[in-house]
Amino acid sequence: MKIYKKTADLQKELQLLKKEGKTIGLVPTMGALHSGHLSLVNKCVAENDICVVSVFVNPTQFNNQNDLEKYPRTLDNDVKLLESVNCSIVFAPTVDQIYPEPDTRVFDFGQLDKVMEGKFRPGHFNGVAQVVSRLFDIVKPNRAYFGEKDFQQLAIIREMVKKYSIPVEIVGCPIVREADGMALSSRNMRLSANERGKAVLISQTLLKSCNFVPEKSVSELKQWVIDQINSEPILEVEYFDIVDGNTMQSINSWDDTDYPVGCITVYCGEEVRLIDNIKYLKK
């Protein structure tokens, strides 16, 4: 496994590999890797000749400076994990390698980025689009792999690729959960043992909510989920919405879409912000 910190060095290596006819897969990450990330890497390794994993905490997608500063950075451990799953190349650039000049691009995703995460984290998805498009430009992968835990982000990246005619196949991969159902996240590292024990209520509640579709109305189910989670004093729902899984727009009735998805963000304690989602099957 090779590790590159400079864009020019990585590109030189990739150009040689492409001349040999090798296919390139990319897994963009912000590091602090866990089994969820490794599931993406495993799929990338299986489907491409070369697997490139980027490890870069992107400053432009944080609208909270404190969150950026506290985001876990564990590069040495990340490298060991990636070596264990046959990753070919790690790209661990500094900010000036990704953004040699300030990135002032503004992307237009219509209504996709105006709701949920986009509403509560202004500018977040523009920052995501900046860094992902830069990585696509640097690596020029055949395929790129993203987890469905960041459900809205995946929809926006698909839209970006389509709208700006970027020649890369986007592969979405299922959420990986711990044994008790908690969605794996780098932010889980910041939870105390007590917080971690309480946070599982998020995934438990989402799973239970599936039993009430379509008996409860959309609005009733939304309120039920919020009330269940907020009943635990350490948890506070920032938003829970049930949306069309393609457009990310709220639905009012189960008849509004064939692809209803419940998307949630919850604060655990004062600082740790956890996201999850669940796909509803209409009986």
Q: Which of 104, 139, 173 is the last residue of a domain?
A: 173
Side-chain half-sphere of 208: how many Cα atoms within 13 Å?
Answer: 13
Positive/negative CA dihedral, 83, 89, 93, 98: negative
pLDDT in tens, 77-125: 999 999 999 999 999 999 999 999 999 999 999 999 999 999 999 999 9
CATH number of 269's domain: 3.30.1300.10
Is 196 found in the same domain as 96? no
- Domain-located, residue 283: no
- Domain-located, residue 242: yes
CATH number of 89's domain: 3.40.50.620
Contact 262, 241 (CB under 8 A): yes
Say how far apart CA 2 and CA 63 lie, in whole Å. Answer: 33
Is 220 found in the same domain as 127? no
- Domain-located, residue 282: no
Rounded to the nearest integer, the mean pLDDT of the chain is 97
For 212-232, b where at least 16 C-beta lie within 10 A, e where not — what string?
ebeebebeebbebbbebbeee
Is 159 found in the same domain as 214? no
Residue 176 per-residue DSSP state: P
- Domain-located, residue 178: no
Predicted confidence band at 59 (pLDDT cuts at 50, 70, 90)?
A: very high
Strand residues in the chain grouped as ranges (E): 2-4, 24-29, 50-55, 89-91, 143-147, 169-173, 235-244, 260-268, 272-279
Q: Is the pLDDT of residue 283 over 80?
A: no
- Domain-located, residue 97: yes
Active site residue 37: yes
Question: For the whole model, what pTM was predicted?
Answer: 0.95
Q: In the prediction, which pLDDT does 282 show?
A: 79
Q: Which of 116, 141, 173 is the last residue of a domain?
A: 173
- Domain-located, residue 155: yes
- Domain-located, residue 88: yes
Q: Which of 119, 150, 173 is the last residue of a domain?
A: 173
High-pLDDT (> 70) share of the chain, %: 100
Q: In the prediction, which pLDDT does 64 show?
A: 85
Q: Which two tokens stand for residue 160?
A: 């970006």
Q: In the prediction, which pLDDT does 11 show?
A: 98
Number of domains in the chain: 2
pLDDT in tens, 159-213: 999 999 999 999 999 999 999 999 999 999 999 999 999 999 999 999 999 999 9
Give CA separation, 178 vs 34, 259, 270, in Å.
11, 25, 23
- Domain-located, residue 181: no
User: Could you say which of 31, 37, 168, 202 is catalytic?
Assistant: 37
Owner of token pair 């005619």: 165
Is 226 found in the same domain as 151? no
Q: State which residues form the domain around 111.
A: 2-173
At position 86, the amino acid (one-letter code) is: N
Q: Is the pLDDT of residue 32 over 90?
A: yes
Is 200 found in the same domain as 166? no
